[in-house]
């Protein structure tokens, strides 16, 4: 099997290179290999590789910057998935694509289901929603996996930012009225590998293509997330200025950003778990594993 992986340098793409390696020949690219804002470059790439499956881990993820770089965000998040879908459909390939909780407005009381109405409130969210629609319209053989609060040992993320700030400051103020589930990049990669294996072994036309929510179990808010990270760091012997009790909860209104964040990023994974007979570990399990990797990689 030949796998085309985009976004190899990102948090999820980095882990996918490891997780997908046993499944076949991987052709992994990042922005330096193929500009996903260039439609013709994408078409040439797919026609050259002729993959059996495309795993699209590339995205424009600078949520606030997207507000002022909407053309680039739409090119990468909306146009590229549609073009990948078109080219894959022509060659008989299928596509795994990652999306986001930002396709929802965050006003629902409970966890969002796949059937809930989308209503993105930011350029990032709208561009990702357009990417979902474009892929679905051009290739029926797809998996769109919506996730949230991705954290990995490789690349930049909230956990690493909290560790850095906790070594520099005496106290931290962190938003406590946005809720979701930190989801490890390694979990996303490992599950993707399992899904591709299930597809290989499924009967013809019996694989449950479609859109699914894929996040770790449980829920938290950004403030408690930060407290957990700092607590784990202290247990591991890290010398920090800030302790969990020095992390103060604040409201979203007290921390304004160019892009609006969903207050509720909780995603219901029932459909995913039933369709693929997989269980998803609690977010603390995955995050603890990521943190150990971060600690081991730092002096």
Strand segments, DSSP code E, in 9-88 are: 25-29, 53-56
Active-site residue identified among 74, 98, 102, 124: 124
**Whether 7 contacts 18, CB under 8 Å:** no
- How far apart CA 25 and CA 9 sit, in angstroms, is 18
- Ranges of the chain with pLDDT below 50: none
Q: How far is CA 195 from CA 29, 45, 80, 192, 272, in A?
A: 21, 24, 22, 5, 11
Kind and range of the H or E run holding 179: strand 179-180
User: Any catalytic annotation for residue 124?
Assistant: yes
Q: Which domains, and CATH codes, for the chain? A: 2-157+181-219+263-282 (3.40.50.720)
Strand segments, DSSP code E, in 20-117 are: 25-29, 53-56, 94-100
**Whether 64 contacts 92, CB under 8 Å:** no
Structure tokens at 63: 């949520």
* β-pairing verdict for 179-180 and 220-221: antiparallel
φ/ψ of 157, rounded to 5, equals -165, 175
pLDDT for the residue numbered 205:
79
pLDDT for the residue numbered 299:
60
Give CA angle at 160 (157, 166), nearest 5°. 135
Smallest CA-to-CA distance from 148 within 215, 56, 210 is with: 215
- Write out the DSSP string of 199-261: HHHSPTT-S--EEEE---BS-EEHHHHHHHHHHHHHHTT---S--GGGEEEE-GGGS--SSPP
- How far apart CA 124 and CA 118 sit, in angstroms, is 13
Within a 10 A sphere around the Cβ of 126, how many other Cβ atoms?
A: 21
φ/ψ of 10, rounded to 5, equals -80, 175
Token look-up 């408690």 returns 224
Q: Is this prediction's pTM over 0.75?
A: yes
């Amino acid at each position: 099997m030949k796998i085309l992986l985009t976004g190899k340098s990102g948090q999820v793409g980095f882990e996918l290179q490891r997780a997908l390696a046993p499944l076949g020949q991987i052709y992994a690219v990042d922005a330096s290999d193929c500009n996903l804002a260039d439609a013709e470059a994408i078409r040439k790439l797919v026609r050259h590789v002729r993959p059996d499956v495309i795993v699209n881990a590339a995205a424009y993820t600078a949520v606030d910057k997207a507000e002022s770089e909407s053309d680039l965000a739409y090119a990468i998040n909306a146009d590229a998935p549609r073009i990948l879908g078109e080219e894959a459909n022509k060659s008989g390939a299928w596509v795994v694509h990652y999306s986001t909780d930002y396709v929802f407005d965050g006003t629902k009381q409970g966890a969002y289901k796949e059937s809930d109405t989308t209503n993105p409130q930011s350029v990032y969210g709208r561009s990702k929603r357009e990417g979902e629609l474009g892929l679905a319209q051009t290739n029926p053989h797809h998996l769109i996996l919506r996730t949230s609060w991705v954290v990995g040992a490789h690349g930049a993320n909230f956990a690493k930012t909290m560790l850095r700030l906790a070594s520099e400051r005496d106290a931290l103020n962190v938003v406590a009225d946005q809720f979701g589930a930190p989801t490890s990049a390694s979990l996303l990669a490992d599950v993707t590998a399992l899904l591709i294996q299930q597809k290989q072994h499924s009967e013809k036309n019996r694989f449950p293509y479609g859109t699914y929510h894929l996040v770790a179990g449980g829920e938290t808010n950004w403030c408690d997330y930060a407290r957990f990270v700092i607590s784990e760091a202290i247990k591991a012997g890290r010398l920090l200025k800030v302790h969990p009790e020095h992390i103060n909860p604040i409201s979203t209104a007290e921390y304004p950003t160019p892009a609006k964040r969903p207050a509720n990023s909780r995603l219901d994974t029932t459909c995913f778990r039933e369709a693929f007979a997989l269980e998803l570990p609690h977010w603390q399990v995955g995050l603890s594993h990521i943190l150990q990797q971060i600690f081991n990689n730092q002096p």
